[in-house]
Amino acid sequence: MRPATLAGVWIVLIVVLMLFLAAAGTVLGTRHALRRRNRVVAGVNSPVPLTWLNSGRREARVHRRLQMSGRRLELVPPTEDVAPIIARLRVELVELDAYLLTVARRPSKVRRADRPEILERVEQIEELVRRVEERVRTELVSLDELSERLDLLEAADRELDELGPAGQD
């Protein structure tokens, strides 16, 4: 082979290798993004298949309800009184998600028998998440009340300053 032809072959090989690496990176990045999206709780990978992201199976729909509860829980600021409850709910979400996969692999008769228990637990979790959100929302309202009280105190201070020092007539 002539040197010019050999250089051309190397260039083609390098271009093909770069295209392959770009495609592999795209596939891996997409897979990672889908796995993150499939999580019930941030930072904890879910054992359920990626197909549950858009599947119409009952177990997949229940998984998406768990995801929604987990996302709502992530938005709740972990104040001192609700932080342990949030931590326990996160554990409960992960455990129920794993159990859901176990149930999904069982024969249909057994799945049907387990479904009411799972749905009841999901509803309990959703209700607890709602109550935690409400509790934090109530605490935020309390902060608004504190702000109003401070505004009143500052207004009273301004009035006292306008009247001048006490005891001078």
What is the pLDDT, as a whole number, of residue 1?
58
Q: How far apart are CA 102 and CA 45, in angstroms?
A: 16
Q: Where are the domains of the chain?
A: 14-144
Q: Classify residue 66 by burial, with Cβ atoms within 10 Å: 0-12, 13-18, 19+.
A: buried
Q: How far apart are CA 69 and CA 82, in angstroms?
A: 16
Collapsing DSSP to helix, strand or coil, 167 comes out as coil
Range in 1-5, 125-129, 132-136 the model is least confident about: 1-5
Is the pLDDT assigned to residue 76 strictly greater than 70? Answer: yes
Decide if 115 contacts 59 (C-beta within 8 A). Answer: no
Sequence letter at residue 22: A
Upper half-sphere CA count for residue 28 (Cβ side, 13 Å): 6
pTM equals 0.72
- The whole-number average pLDDT for the span 103-122 is 92
What is the pLDDT, as a whole number, of residue 6?
80
Q: Cβ–Cβ contacts within 10 Å for residue 61, how many?
A: 11
Q: How far apart are CA 156 and CA 159, in angstroms?
A: 5
